[in-house]
Amino acid sequence: MTEQSLFIIKPDAVSRGLIGEVVSRFEKKGFKIIKLKMYTFTKEKAEKFYSDHSSKPFFNELVSFITSGRVVVAVIEGNNVIATTRIMIGSTKSFEAAPGSIRGDFGLGLTDNIVHASDSTESFEKEVKVVFE
């Protein structure tokens, strides 16, 4: 089923020059980039974006990291895109992510884990409002 998702190339990946690498993987898989822009999260936008995690012990660290530098935000479209991009990015803990996944191939971090992708239609709808409206 054709659907949309949102991904973020996080500050660690942008500063390491991995924008092309990440976008290219999604494009080569067959997904279409519908919207794409450089973006800098304010603290307020980051807190909204990650509001589901507001009670977690790592929340402040997460907000501080995502606001620490420029990111790329994009809307991506294609068959089963939400579940498939989650497989493609790999486990949250980059150091445990499978080789062949984006986190598995490019990172070792947890908070600084290269890339984010929406985990459900509800998350996508909320996230796209925060960064594109």
Enumerate binding residues for ligand CMP (CB under 6 A): 53, 58, 61-62, 92, 110-111, 113, 116
Stretch (H or E) spanning 36: strand 32-39
C-alpha to C-alpha distance for 111 and 61, rounded to whole angstroms: 8
As measured in angstroms, the least distance from the Cβ of 79 to ligand CMP is 22
Which residue, 82 or 116, has its beta carbon nearer to ligand CMP? 116
Nearest residue to 13 (alpha-carbon basis) of 88, 108, 127: 108
3-state secondary structure of 82: helix
As measured in angstroms, the least distance from the Cβ of 70 to ligand CMP is 16
Which residue, 8 or 23, has its beta carbon nearer to ligand CMP? 8
Spatial CB neighbours of 104, under 8 Å, sequence gap ≥ 6 = 90, 91, 94, 97, 98
As measured in angstroms, the least distance from the Cβ of 87 to ligand CMP is 13
Q: Which residues form the catalytic set?
A: 116
Which residue, 36 or 110, has its beta carbon nearer to ligand CMP? 110
